[in-house]
Structure 1
């Protein structure tokens, strides 16, 4: 049941850098261009949201105007409302993403509305995307735990994922936003969602706060999930989760996939160089264990 080909969605330039205090527009452009040279075929490059709420994602239009687009690479962006979608469309984004939460409390704290209201907000986005033939990806946050509610029932995750899929999202990415999940929990959640949404339309977006992200991915690969979100150098983290250490590092994911004999198209050596460079630019420790190990080995 384990797939032989894995699609990696690189979220470092968006989900990673939106929480990195020292990143600049120049850093973001450099990172996107460098990642495209590693063999990654889907890069979530920016977020078209108000800079008032996410200041590090300001000037998304300038980023898309400045990057060197590579053939065969999808450059996507988060567009939580119709205003963001229209800006992304004008910037020439290849795909867009919308998001909802499996936690009512997290939805209220994060975007100041209920789960139902959040879904109503992006219905115009889906309609406009269909009109312009742009694919829409859906995110579900807090699938394995919430900083306010604690454990989240898999049935609730399945319900939200089903709504996104039936509304027109070609894929639904299941996020362990605070990184508290463990392999059995992750597998149970994915099994519940797969009863409502085809496994081929599911992706994983696991944070590594408790060091469980790789183990969780490995457990879900056995169920047939073939798309994994990750962030170079483990950039990012959830501002609502105490001690959140960031996303699953793409370098660590690639190293594991290599060990499993699964194809993905990414050059690990080039990827490690990119992770080390952006970490140095930001003045932070590289959050990838593989990146750290290979840097020491070659230095």
Structure 2
């Protein structure tokens, strides 16, 4: 039995064999993550037969009634924060910033502040009606470093988004990946979509969105390689999933890579070069920034 009234859940355990409380709730309520459910239990938000239970491994029995209320989510809105950022270029229409590894691009559930957007709003004026992603036309992952273009007004936003759609801009990355390559360069054309087994991941799926990545080996080491990548499309986790797909996962990648990998602060992936047509002047603009110190230090160790 499952009854949902507003944000309140009432579940009845109807199995002869006892089961774990957190497992039972996860099976019944699939739109809430297991980690969130465990937090609700530990915070005393879950009742079994009207008694508060704080043990995730508590055994529920046949006929037990489990109740809990999911707290209403607070509305997310980006607010200016005095966070230092590396502005590579800026004029009245666009900004180019070098995002550090470990910084989320825009506010979202779990990351309501401390993002690149919060920093940009403090340092510059962005005219955009989007309250959560003002100025954002493309993203890179939290633990990926490198260049992002920011639109400061509607003219710039429409132009930059059109260039992304038409694939006329330039986005090149460098990465340290696992394994030895037989070929020096190649093209990965494999559709991406949400993984059917793990909703935190993306995967190669037949009915996914078209995704194309070009790669070229720059240096080959004993068990790793330094490669250059160019995005033709920009899907979520595209490079990371594509490199795993061809047997060369990005080193340090906690989601798509092996456990035995290079020590760092996440994946060794850096958005090194960015090029686009200026929305107002139509001039071609191109920017390059070198990877962070941990990336270059690791490269030097591999060379040594």
Give the TM-score normalised by the residue count of structure 2. Answer: 0.24
Task: Name the one with the larger helix percent.
Answer: 1
Higher relative contact order (CA 8 A, sep 6+): 1
Task: Name the one with the larger strand percent.
Answer: 2
